[in-house]
């Protein structure tokens, strides 16, 4: 690609924002696994007034690259103040990284992101993350032959070489496991044993989300999540504002039987949350629900149903990690929500993402006859 006309500009106008958000559809237009995202949702994601996880306008910059007047790449650089406060670090991040397959272009985008962060005294850059590890994050390393499920990233195989060739090193890998909900039966003996152990324990109870108690149950599961994940790589706790945002985002697509809480001695200590794959429902809407796309979307989610589900959140309080009681309860929760998923018509469920060193969760996935089918990587580089 000739570079005499290459320009990388800071996104500032509404027209540039629209181009920034539309770029992935151009980059992946010939990729059969690409799922165009809903335009209104993408706009909300980058707006800090709407999305509390989005950095303030002072703490982020969006870049768009053009060549001969054609948009060919984009990237964001930002400072996650919650991350830096939690870890007492001076880190910066890059995200929203998409471009045509060209190393020079990819490196130019990364350099612009790095230079912007250096100008603010940042000592290390981490990414890719679309604002935080609690949202979309990780570069797709393997699994390009299947579409991304809701809130998971897609990409090109060439990105790995671009990023590593520019001096970035692996921080951590994350896996997505896929479970075929009608397969793997009878379950392995260890799984059957764990479920039976939970069933025999009168102090263990599992229950679905309570009618009219959505916010109460959401606060319960997020409190468990903040405790369960507190020692994981990159973890930043959800505060009340972000929990409220999650409630508003997920409630329209969730179903009551997808959220289960596990209690021990009357106290909630574990949960699991399954949601339908929105990406499957919107795959042919071209990013718009107007004029009649919303009818198709509602029909597919509420009536016809989709075949793919995802478990984006699950957790067990730290004090029960690596205990027979805890493992038994989680096994019971998994089998319960899988059964409910089958009733909803789901044939597959993705469990994601799971850190490569989280042996406990990996063991749970294996017991559920799930297999790793995608790998994502977070990178870092000293500035």
**CATH assignment at residue 109:** 3.40.630.30
Percentage above 90 pLDDT, the chain:
70
In a domain, 172, yes or no: no
Higher per-residue confidence, 26 vs 290: 26
Q: Which of 182, 73, 177, 83 is nearest to 124 (CA)?
A: 83
Q: Which among 104-118, 176-190, 286-300, 320-334 has the top mean pLDDT?
A: 104-118
Beta bridge partners of 286: none
Residues 278 and 207 in one domain: yes
Alpha helices in the chain (DSSP H): 14-27, 39-45, 81-87, 103-118, 158-165, 189-200, 214-228, 240-250, 278-282, 293-298, 324-343, 359-367
Would you say residue 139 lies in a domain?
Answer: yes
Residues 331, 199 share a domain: yes
Q: Which residues contact 255 (CB under 8 A, 6 or more apart)?
A: 275, 276, 344
> Among 138, 196, 226, 183, which Cα is nearest to 327's?
196
- Which is more confidently placed, 215 or 21? 21
Question: CA-based angle 191:196:197, to the nearest 5?
Answer: 95
For the record, the structure tokens of 245 come out as 């945002």
For the chain, report the end-to-end CA distance as a whole number of angstroms.
28
Q: How far is CA 299 from CA 242, 279, 295, in A?
A: 29, 14, 6
| Rounded-to-integer distance, Cα 281 and Cα 285, Å | 9
291 and 262 within one domain: yes
Note the pLDDT of residue 288. Answer: 52
Identify which of 254, 312, 360, 348 has the alpha carbon closest to the alpha carbon of residue 136.
312
Mean pLDDT calculated for residue range 226-243: 89
Give me the domain span that covers residue 113: 6-167
Shared domain for 144 and 194, answered yes or no, is: no
- Mean pLDDT score, 122-151: 95
Which pLDDT does position 211 carry in this prediction? 87
Q: In the structure encoding, which two tokens stand for residue 57, read together?
A: 């306008």
Is 142 inside a domain boundary? yes
- The number of domains in the chain is 2
Q: State the Cα torsion 35-40-43-47 to the nearest 10°.
A: -130
DSSP state of 347: -
Are 193 and 145 part of one and the same domain?
no
Query: Do 137 and 227 reside in the same domain of the chain?
Result: no
Q: What percent helix, strand, coil does the chain show, rounded to 5?
A: 40, 25, 35
Q: Could you give the CA distance from residue 97 to residue 77 in angstroms, rounded to a whole number?
A: 10
Which DSSP symbol is given to 137?
Answer: B
How many angstroms separate the CA atoms of 223 and 217, rounded? 10
Boundary of a domain, candidates 140, 167, 194: 167
Q: Is the pLDDT of residue 106 over 70?
A: yes
| Whole-number pLDDT of residue 255 | 85
**Do residues 248 and 125 share a domain?**
no
Of the three residues 138, 167, 196, the one that is the final residue of a domain is: 167
Residues 65 and 103 placed together within one structural domain of the fold: yes
**Are 215 and 83 in a shared domain?**
no
- pLDDT given at position 110: 98
pLDDT above 70 as % of the chain: 93
> So what's the pLDDT on residue 172?
97
Model confidence at 80, in pLDDT bands (50, 70, 90)?
very high
Cα radius of gyration (the chain): 21
Q: Give me the mean pLDDT over the 218-245 stretch.
A: 90
Question: Using CA atoms in the order 298, 299, 301, 305, what is the torsion angle rounded to 10 degrees?
Answer: 180
Is residue 119 included in any domain, yes or no? Answer: yes
Does 371 share its domain with 233? yes
| Calpha distance 188→370 (Å, rounded) | 12
Band (pLDDT 50/70/90 cuts) for residue 304 is: low
Flag whether pLDDT at 298 surpasses 80: no
pLDDT of 324-362, one tens digit each?
Answer: 999 999 999 999 999 999 999 999 999 999 999 988 889
Q: How many CB atoms lie within 10 A of CB 299?
A: 12
Looking at the fold, whether 156 and 213 belong to one and the same domain comes out as no
Residue 367 gets the label, from left (phi > 0), alpha (psi -120 to 50) or beta, of alpha
Q: Are residues 11 and 133 in the same domain?
A: yes
Mean pLDDT of the chain: 90
Tell me, yes or no, whether 1 lies in a domain. Answer: no
Residue 382 lies in a domain: no
Which of the pair, 305 or 132, is modelled with greater confidence?
Answer: 132
For residue 33, what pLDDT is reported? 96
Of 120, 136, 167, the last residue of a domain is 167
Asked if the model's pLDDT at residue 39 lies above 90, the reply is: no
Domain membership flag for residue 173: no
Which among 260-264, 302-306, 365-369 has the top mean pLDDT? 260-264
- Asked whether residue 244 is assigned to any structural domain, the reply reads yes
CA angle, residues 49, 259, 184, in degrees to nearest 5: 125
Position 299 confidence tier, pLDDT thresholds 50, 70, 90 = very low
pLDDT of residue 368: 81
């Amino acid at each position: 690609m000739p570079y005499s006309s290459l320009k990388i500009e800071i996104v500032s106008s509404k027209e540039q924002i629209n181009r920034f958000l539309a770029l992935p559809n151009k980059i992946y237009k010939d990729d059969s696994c690409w799922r165009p995202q809903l335009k209104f949702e993408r706009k909300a994601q980058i707006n800090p007034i709407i999305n509390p996880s989005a950095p303030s306008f002072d703490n982020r910059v969006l870049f768009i690259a053009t060549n001969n007047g054609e948009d060919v790449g984009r990237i964001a650089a930002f400072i996650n103040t919650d991350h830096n406060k939690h870890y007492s670090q001076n880190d910066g991040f890059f995200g929203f990284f998409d471009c045509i397959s060209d190393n020079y272009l990819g490196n130019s985008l990364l350099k612009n992101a790095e230079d912007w962060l250096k100008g603010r005294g940042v000592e290390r850059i981490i990414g890719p993350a679309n604002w935080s590890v609690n949202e979309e994050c990780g570069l797709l390393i393997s699994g390009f032959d299947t579409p991304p499920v809701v809130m998971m990233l897609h990409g090109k195989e060439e990105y790995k070489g671009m990023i590593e060739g520019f001096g970035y090193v692996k921080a951590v890998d994350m896996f997505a496991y896929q479970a075929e909900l009608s397969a793997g039966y009878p379950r392995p003996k260890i799984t059957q044993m764990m479920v039976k152990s939970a069933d025999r324990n009168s102090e263990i109870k599992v229950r679905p989300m309570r009618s009219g108690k959505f916010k109460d149950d959401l606060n319960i599961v997020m409190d468990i999540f903040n405790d369960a994940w507190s020692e994981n790589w990159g973890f930043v706790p959800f505060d009340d504002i972000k929990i409220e945002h999650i409630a508003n985002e997920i409630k329209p697509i969730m179903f009551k039987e997808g959220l289960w809480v596990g209690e021990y001695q009357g106290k909630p200590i574990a949960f699991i949350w399954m949601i339908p794959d929105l990406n499957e429902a919107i795959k042919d809407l071209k990013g718009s629900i107007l004029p009649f796309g919303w009818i198709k979307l509602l029909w597919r989610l509420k009536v016809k149903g989709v075949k793919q589900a995802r478990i984006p959140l699950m957790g067990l309080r730290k004090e029960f990690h690596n205990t027979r009681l805890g493992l038994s309860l989680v096994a019971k929760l998994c089998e319960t929500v899988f059964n409910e998923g089958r009733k909803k018509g789901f044939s597959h469920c993705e469990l994601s993402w799971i850190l490569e060193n989280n042996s406990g969760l990996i063991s749970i996935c294996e017991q559920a006859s799930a297999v790793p089918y995608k790998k994502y990587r977070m990178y870092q580089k000293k500035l």
